[in-house]
Amino acid sequence: MHNVALTRRRTLLAGSVLGGAALLLTGCSEDSGPGGGRKDADAAAEARLRAQAARDSAALLARYDATLAAHPGLGERLRPLRAEVARHAAAFGPAPSAPAPSASVSPSAQPRAGAPAAPSARTSPAVPPDEKQARTDLAAAERRTADARAAALVAAPPELARLLASVAAAGAAHAYLLAEDGA
């Protein structure tokens, strides 16, 4: 009986020593060296999330601009929402420029005066000729963008997660307001 207890104690001791050594080695290898290891990886992941959010905001802004250009009668209803989307885009930072497209853009795809430049030389989003359908499409775009931001929360660091959550909630509210049939 005495040997069993001693063996068990030695096994536990050896296991804890090995576990501690593994923890020590892992801890040293993640943050050691001039590159910063994990900190650099976290910063790069945050930069990718911010860049994606900025691109999404720029695309949503372009959709608002195209809808306003096609349906000026929706201006009173869309301008406040568009202004919020512009603030969201600014909060995420400038959208990274996309690589130049292989096909040239037609002169009719030039941005209108006073409109912010699109993130790339892509053509404007297609807008249905019916105002109600245009609002429905814009609401769907807001919903998709809000859903993407909510999904990104899992990988985001705390500060960016709060921003993503806030902007996702605003996007969901925009989708609701756009889908309303009243004023």
Domain that holds residue 84: 42-94+122-183
How confident is the model over 20-78, as pLDDT tens digits? 444 444 444 444 455 567 788 888 889 999 999 999 999 999 999 999 999 999 999 99
CA 5 to chain centre: 57
Task: Check if the beta carbon of residue 92 is closer than 8 Å to that of residue 57.
Answer: yes
Can you tell me whether residue 46 is helix, strand or coil?
A: helix
Range 118-140 average pLDDT: 82
Q: Please report whether residue 74 resides in a domain.
A: yes
Q: Please report whether residue 71 resides in a domain.
A: yes
The C-alpha atoms of residue 19 and residue 21 are separated, in whole angstroms, by 5
Neighbours of 24 (CB within 10 A): 10
Q: Please report whether residue 57 resides in a domain.
A: yes
Q: Which two tokens stand for residue 138?
A: 């814009």
Task: Check if the beta carbon of residue 45 is closer than 8 Å to that of residue 39.
Answer: no
Q: Please report whether residue 34 resides in a domain.
A: no
Count Cβ atoms within 10 A of the Cβ of residue 83 and give its class: 0-12 exposed, 13-18 middle, 19 or more buried. Answer: exposed
Q: Please report whether residue 58 resides in a domain.
A: yes
The C-alpha atoms of residue 123 and residue 109 are separated, in whole angstroms, by 5
CA 115 to chain centre: 23
Q: How many domains in the chain?
A: 1
pLDDT category at 124 given cuts 50, 70, 90 is confident
- What is the longest distance spanned by two Cα atoms in the chain? 91
The C-alpha atoms of residue 162 and residue 157 are separated, in whole angstroms, by 9
Q: Please report whether residue 180 resides in a domain.
A: yes
Apex CA 172: angle with CA 170 and CA 178, to 5°?
Answer: 100
- Percentage of residues in the chain with pLDDT exceeding 70? 63
Q: Please report whether residue 102 resides in a domain.
A: no
Q: Please report whether residue 116 resides in a domain.
A: no
Range 111-133 average pLDDT: 65
